[in-house]
Structure 1
Amino acid sequence: MGFPHPARRLLLAALSALALATALAVPTGGTSSATAAQAAAVTFSDTFDGAAGSAVDGSKWQIETGDNVNNHERQYYTAGSNNAALDGQGHLVITARKDNPRNYQCWYGKCEYTSARLNTSGKFTSTYGHVEARMKIPRGQGMWPAFWMLGNDIGQVGWPNSGEIDVMENVGFEPSTVHGTIHGPGYSGSAGIGAGYTLPNGQVFADAFHTFAVDWAPNSITWTVDGTVYQRRTPADLGGNQWVFNKPFFLILNLAVGGYWPGDPNSSTTFPQQLVVDQVQVSTSDTPPPAAGGTITGLGGKCVDVAAGSTANGTAVQLYDCNGSTAQKWSVGTDGTIRALGKCLDVASGGTADGSLVQLYDCNGTAAQKWTVTGAKDIVNPQANKCLDATGNSSANGTRLQIWTCGGGANQKWTVTG
């Protein structure tokens, strides 16, 4: 996910042994697929209707209390409605405050912050379905909101064998990006498997409500933001490790302050900060999740585009103004391919020389169709050991893409969101 994702562990003093074991190892934690969700059966829903200042529905949620030494988070999670209350307008507001009204003690001494964490353990679990929350997240250095799930057998098998599905996490120093991740045996903590989703044009998640969701099926989890797919994971992504997501999970909502991953608040952080939750809903998913496909943007903010949206073999791949068309929807496969319109990004004639053009072509498994997306935002064809490149360092519409010796220039840097 591009940043170490440390495991969470929290003392859950308010929970029964059947709900969650104490000293529990728990790591971090427009409606997407709306048509599918509406056609399916709703199995859990909370729209947080109620009087302002009242606590959440105790038949659906329980409140966790305590601090979190293992992640070095700074907050103390309080009981009741002190930090998690309805606003009287159909929202749950989880508030992080820089206060300590009851002399709470944390791993580092007297706690500096209070916040809240809720879960459905012992009240609701689901195996598969469309799981979503519509929320407006907080802003500021050190803020760490999350909507996530844990395997209901965590009290018996422990974490990470229980599995964890992070539907959405945000760390305050990335105001435009959220992360989705899975954790399990052999791929937990900083080795969790996931991806980020970044809003276009410098938009910030804290400025508006967004819907964060997963479509979860046997051996498949697909993440969306506002209906846009940005990653799909299957057992093939685990490098031979065990897939532990074909069993019941429960839901968690929380707002952490500080920790190894987000870092602590600083002088730029203002309090209070709020995670405002409009709705949480789980429904059966008898309809397949939306097709995968995101954008690849490069020089000048232009999109990688299939010329005229043609599916003919040899169609030019170019830069063009981003327009949301299927000609600009690309998926990065675990087999090393990059695909659009049912075909593969291909180096013409299997060329390895500087200037070899790229095109759309039937997927055939050759090295001309293998690509590696690096953390440095290069897209490399390993056979040629060359980078995807905008010809002539141009961002003009229609600029052909080619491969060229990797030089680190802006014409070889790409942002992949699918």
Structure 2
Amino acid sequence: MAVALAGFIGVTGAGTAQGAIPPAPGWNLQWGDDFNGADRTPPSAANWQTDTGHGYPGGPGNWGTGEIQNYTASPDNLSLDGNGNLRITPLRDGAGNWTSARIETQRADFKAPAGGTLRIEGRIQMPNVTGDAALGYWPAFWALGSPYRGNYWNWPGTGEFDIMENVNGINSVWGVLHCGVNPGGPCNETTGLGASRACPGASCQSAFHTYRFEWDRAVTPNELRWYVDDQLFHTVRQNQMDAGTWANMTDHAGYFILLNVAIGGAFPDALGGRTPTAATVPGRSMLVDYVAVWTRGGTPPTDPPPSGSSTLYARTGAGLGDSTGSAASATLATAGGANYDGTPHTPQVFTSSGITRTYNGGATQFDLFVDAGTSVGNGQQVRVSYDRTGDGTWDRTETYEYFATDPVPGYEHYTQARGLKSATGSHGDLVNGKVRIEVWNAIGTGASTLGIGNQSVVRIPFG
């Protein structure tokens, strides 16, 4: 699902989930979601954030692709189905307006370990619609480089892996890499470097299929590989492009994963004429049984503080580290006049993994540089979460009272002195654990700025 313009890149109803995330012998599960839950409930907020509207705040319109739908968080468009699946359903109202849904992982650090391999996989049933009734349907399972989050104008340089795309109900899966510059460049933008094939056995629309992407740093040259039902159908190698392009795509904190069903836009238009049409049928859902991330071999892609250090800096690329990096900034999306006090809303997320440290009995401290410019009534908020064993469960989550910024340009200090609003769970020693910092606008109608690099610091209570 291309960000600037699309690269060329499931059954409606109950569907059949296969249960838990399947074992993958020889691989280490890093993260996953099998979408268990009651019918019409939202996907896990700990795992996913929901995109809404026609674009990111301050980003390109129509999500940069020309797609026409409005993304919502309504359970009519986005929910679990009660049968172990995520359900994304595009709908059309009486005036011809389309709605659908798009979610992305909270985590933005999925990366192949040095000398090892990353595997991102989903078992998905595309919307069960074909022919004229499918014109404009554009389901996708994909990943974007973490520096895109909060910037929205650095595509395609930071990288995009389209693991599964489909359009207009055609019995094909497309796998595409986007990189470099747009237009042209080593990835032939805006088309990208792609390949497609029919789904094995049953059609893409009539059954679940497993779509997998691998980023292999254990071979020379490094490889990117795309599979459907374990059958390899596309490969891109490091030596197909210049070193700088490859480095810009891979030498950052990692990737976040997205799932969505768009309607219309550059890719559907390219393969089916102007879409959707009056014949396009709404209400055909994409079902997702699970999404999971594994690694194999190499050194885990962690950025932990050195032994004895408890000071972490929010850094470019959504990481937390013991070194400051260069001064930079990240945009906090507007609350749009709504009240998100206590509930992260399109937050900036920073993480550090692989931390082994002893709890010292103290409390979290932080000093975040925030600025709302001339906006009146803005308030920023932070949530700090601790996963003690790195198993994906947040054992301790602390949400602090929001900080009301003044309408005078210039950074202000937001610290733990604002007070703890709520806390769940308890502290304990970190053994290969993880720390996550989420910062967002809790109130107000304008965007805010978060200073990162050497400007915002968090001190965790571990020795």
Question: Could you tell me whether the CA contact under 8 Å between 2:125 and 2:286 is conserved in 1?
Answer: yes
Runs of 4+ in 1 over 4 A off after TM superposition: 25-31
Q: For residues 38-86 of structure 1, what are the alpha-carbon distances to aligned partners after superposition, in whole Å with 9 as ceiling and x for unaligned? A: 3321111100001111001000000001115342212100025341100
Tell me the distance in 2 between the aligned counterparts of 1:224 and 1:200.
11
Tell me the distance in 2 between the aligned counterparts of 1:220 and 1:137.
27
- Identical residues among aligned pairs (%): 32
In the alignment, which residue of structure 2 is the partner of 1:43?
A: 30
Q: For residues 301-348 of structure 1, what are the alpha-carbon distances to aligned partners after superposition, in whole Å with 9 as ceiling and x for unaligned? A: xxxxxxxxxxxxxxxxxxxxxxxxxxxxxxxxxxxxxxxxxxxxxxxx
By relative contact order (CA 8 Å, sep 6+), the higher-ranking structure is 2
Which structure 2 residues correspond to residues 367-406 of structure 1 after superposition, within 5 A?
none
Superposed CA RMSD: 2.9
Q: Aligned letter for 1:118?
A: I
Please report how far the alpha carbon of residue 215 of structure 1 lies from its aligned counterpart in structure 2 after TM superposition.
1.4
Which structure 2 residues correspond to residues 182-331 of structure 1 after superposition, within 5 A?
182-185=177-180, 186=185, 187=187, 189-199=189-199, 203-218=202-217, 219-238=222-241, 242-243=245-246, 244-247=249-252, 248-263=254-269, 264-286=275-297
Picking from 115, 120, 134, the partner of 2:100 is: 115
Tell me the distance in 1 between the aligned counterparts of 2:102 and 2:8.
12
3-state SS of paired residue (2:92): coil
Say whether 1:150 aligns with 2:149.
no
Tell me the distance in 2 between the aligned counterparts of 1:43 and 1:166.
20
Tell me the distance in 1 between the aligned counterparts of 2:236 and 2:97.
38
Please report how far the alpha carbon of residue 153 of structure 1 lies from its aligned counterpart in structure 2 after TM superposition.
1.3
Tell me the distance in 2 between the aligned counterparts of 1:61 and 1:242.
29
In the alignment, which residue of structure 1 is the partner of 2:453?
A: none
Say whether 1:91 aligns with 2:91.
no
3-state SS of paired residue (2:190): helix
Tell me the distance in 2 between the aligned counterparts of 1:28 and 1:148.
13
3-state SS of paired residue (2:239): helix
Q: For residues 253-301 of structure 1, what are the alpha-carbon distances to aligned partners after superposition, in whole Å with 9 as ceiling and x for unaligned? A: 01001112113122432221111000000011339xxxxxxxxxxxxxx
State which drifts further: 179-188 or 139-148. 179-188
Shift of the 111–71 alpha-carbon distance from structure 1 to 2, 3 Å rule, reads farther
Question: Could you tell me whether the CA contact under 8 Å between 2:6 and 2:266 is conserved in 1?
Answer: no
TM-score (norm. length: structure 2): 0.50
Q: For residues 379-416 of structure 1, what are the alpha-carbon distances to aligned partners after superposition, in whole Å with 9 as ceiling and x for unaligned? A: xxxxxxxxxxxxxxxxxxxxxxxxxxxxxxxxxxxxxx
In the alignment, which residue of structure 2 is the partner of 1:324?
A: none
Please report how far the alpha carbon of residue 240 of structure 1 lies from its aligned counterpart in structure 2 after TM superposition.
6.8
Question: Could you tell me whether the CA contact under 8 Å between 1:127 and 1:246 is conserved in 2?
Answer: no
Picking from 29, 32, 41, the partner of 1:54 is: 41
Q: For residues 121-167 of structure 1, what are the alpha-carbon distances to aligned partners after superposition, in whole Å with 9 as ceiling and x for unaligned? A: 4x352102110000000131110000000111124571111111111
Tell me the distance in 2 between the aligned counterparts of 1:151 and 1:259.
22
Unaligned runs of 5+ in 2: 10-16, 55-60, 113-117, 270-274, 299-463
Question: Could you tell me whether the CA contact under 8 Å between 2:68 and 2:263 is conserved in 1?
Answer: yes
Please report how far the alpha carbon of residue 217 of structure 1 lies from its aligned counterpart in structure 2 after TM superposition.
1.9
Q: How many residues align?
A: 253
In the alignment, which residue of structure 1 is the partner of 2:455?
A: none
Q: For residues 228-262 of structure 1, what are the alpha-carbon distances to aligned partners after superposition, in whole Å with 9 as ceiling and x for unaligned? A: 01121112223676111354111000100111211
3-state SS of paired residue (1:242): helix
Shift of the 44–209 alpha-carbon distance from structure 1 to 2, 3 Å rule, reads same
Please report how far the alpha carbon of residue 177 of structure 1 lies from its aligned counterpart in structure 2 after TM superposition.
0.7
Tell me the distance in 2 between the aligned counterparts of 1:250 and 1:188.
23
Instruction: Return the index of the structure with the highest Cα Rg.
Output: 1
State which drifts further: 136-145 or 264-273. 264-273
In the alignment, which residue of structure 2 is the partner of 1:159?
A: 155
Tell me the distance in 2 between the aligned counterparts of 1:148 and 1:188.
18
Shift of the 49–199 alpha-carbon distance from structure 1 to 2, 3 Å rule, reads closer
In the alignment, which residue of structure 2 is the partner of 1:170?
A: 166
Question: Could you tell me whether the CA contact under 8 Å between 1:176 and 1:198 is conserved in 2?
Answer: yes
Question: Could you tell me whether the CA contact under 8 Å between 2:8 and 2:267 is conserved in 1?
Answer: no
Q: Aligned letter for 1:197?
A: R
